[in-house]
Amino acid sequence: MSEFKSTDKEYIAGTYNRFDVQLVSGKGSKVKDINGKEYIDMGSGIGVTAFGFADDEWNSAVCDQINKLQHTSNLYYTKPSAKLAELLCKKTGMSKVFFGNSGAEANECAIKVARKWAAENKGVDCYKIITLENSFHGRTITTLAATGQSHYHELFNPLTDGFIHAPANDLLALEKMLEENNVAAVMFECIQGEGGVIALDDEYIKGIEALAKKYNFLIIVDEVQTGNGRTGKLYAYMNFGIKPNIVSTAKGLGGGLPIGAVLLDDKVGDVLGFGDHGSTYGANPVCSAAALTIINRLTDDFLAEVKQKSDYIFSEFESAKGVESVSGMGLMVGIKTQKPAGDVVKDAMEKGVLCLTAKDKVRLLPALNIPFEDLKTAVQIIKSCL
């Protein structure tokens, strides 16, 4: 039951298919609906509330900053965004950061950097960006063009020119495209999230890096969903031993406030100059203060715990009845169930666990700090729904 269901349906554009549940408050990985029913949250607002609801450290950083200064515009210096950019660069070895407000906006910036770099270094005819089939990069006209799933494109044409889609895990097909096109960048998710929680092959990702040396293109990794500790490393590319030129991220970065970031290595760190790009809300001090509490806590010890929780989830579901396969990495898990995934998610919700779907899979993206007790309870409840 949701008291605002009819108001929502009447006044909010119908882009979402909501569950008939109205959430009102949460603490940690538990959240309550309007009837007082409590759920264990295994979705974290699609990988956003990285440290759960009303996390003490996050809350106090956000409240402190909000009481001082909620916004300044980018005409002035502020401490939280400078500290956050420094922290992100120190932890990744990248050179520069651009801040925006969402994943799509981060990818837009990544694409602009690639185009300008290519125009200056390879000529203005070099603007093509190769992305992968079944990828997801966002909902703006340009990031839709980057997204390699045609069902998102229908009725929104013409999209931004210059994107071609390669089959994933096929280095020969990729090299053929590189020979036939003037390519500025190859852009991919190390684990395709919306596409069904599918990790790319280790060999393929390393192969892209080898091809980048041969054909002189940039590597853009879309870490909007996989980033910020989600896979058990700070960024998912770190699991594959590559060094991308550009990393885009958002979702979990702000722990529940809208912030996106583009990390640029030394090859492209100075591509964007004065007037080339901007975002009114970008580098917002409250969102930056929130993100500092997330990134600061992603230590090796903490990430080792993420891996332990991941191992628990994988071993429980790999041996469970009614499961065809388990995919993903860290606390980004896709479960192919014999029953339709939507039925499992509905059933779990009735029993007090919130889950997500991705394509035909049940998708789990719990808070990175979910207590083991809550995780165990949630996993056993989901198993009882299979």
Ligand X SMILES: *Cc1c(COP(=O)(O)O)cnc(C)c1O
Q: Is 255 in the site for ligand X (CB under 6 A)?
A: no
Q: Which residues, numbered 207-236, are part of the site for ligand X (CB under 6 A)?
A: 222, 224-225
Answer yes or no whether residue 148 interacts with ligand X by CB under 6 A. Answer: no
Burial of 95 (0-12, 13-18, 19+ CB in 10 A): middle
Residue 310 in the binding site for ligand X (CB under 6 A): no
Nearer to ligand X, 134 or 225 (CB): 225
By beta-carbon distance, which residue lies closest to ligand X? 103
How many Cα atoms sit within 13 Å of 197 on the Cβ side?
Answer: 26
Q: Is 262 in the site for ligand X (CB under 6 A)?
A: no
Positive/negative CA dihedral, 34, 342, 368, 209: negative
Residue type, 243: K
Closer CB to ligand X, 233 or 383, in the complex: 233
Residue 250 touching ligand X (CB under 6 A): yes
Give me the helices (H) in 166-255, please: 171-180, 202-215
Segment near ligand X (CB under 6 A); pick from 87-95, 103-111, 310-318, 368-376:
103-111
Among 251, 309, 361, 383, the active-site one is 251
Question: Least CB distance from residue 44 to ligand X, whole Å?
Answer: 13
Nearer to ligand X by C-beta: 29 or 248?
248
CB of 139 to ligand X, least distance (A): 6
Is residue 136 involved in binding ligand X (CB under 6 A)?
yes
Pairing between strand 128-132 and 183-188?
parallel
Alpha helices, DSSP H only, in 193-255? 202-215
Selected from 31, 40, 94, 104, the binder of ligand X by CB under 6 A is: 104
The dihedral region occupied by 56, where left means phi > 0, alpha psi between -120 and 50, and beta the remainder, is alpha
Residues 6+ apart with CB under 8 A from 31: 23, 25, 38, 39, 41, 53, 354
Residue 126 or residue 131: which is nearer to ligand X going by CB?
131
Candidate list 33, 41, 55, 194; residue touching ligand X; CB under 6 A:
194
**CA atoms of 159 and 53, how far apart (whole Å):** 37
- Min dist CB 262 to ligand X, Å, is 12
Helix ranges (H only) for the chain are 5-11, 44-47, 56-68, 79-92, 103-121, 141-146, 171-180, 202-215, 285-296, 300-318, 341-350, 372-383
Tell me if 108 contacts ligand X by CB under 6 A: no
- 119-127, 135-143, 286-294, 377-385 -> range binding ligand X (CB under 6 A): 135-143
56 is catalytic: no
User: Can 302 be counted among the known catalytic residues?
Assistant: no
Please enumerate in sequence order all residues whose Cβ is within 8 A of that of 109, keeping only pairs 6 or more positions apart, or say none.
98, 100, 248, 262, 272, 277
Q: Which residues are catalytic?
A: 136, 222, 251
Binding site for ligand X (CB under 6 A): 102-104, 107, 136-138, 189, 193-194, 222, 224-225, 250-251
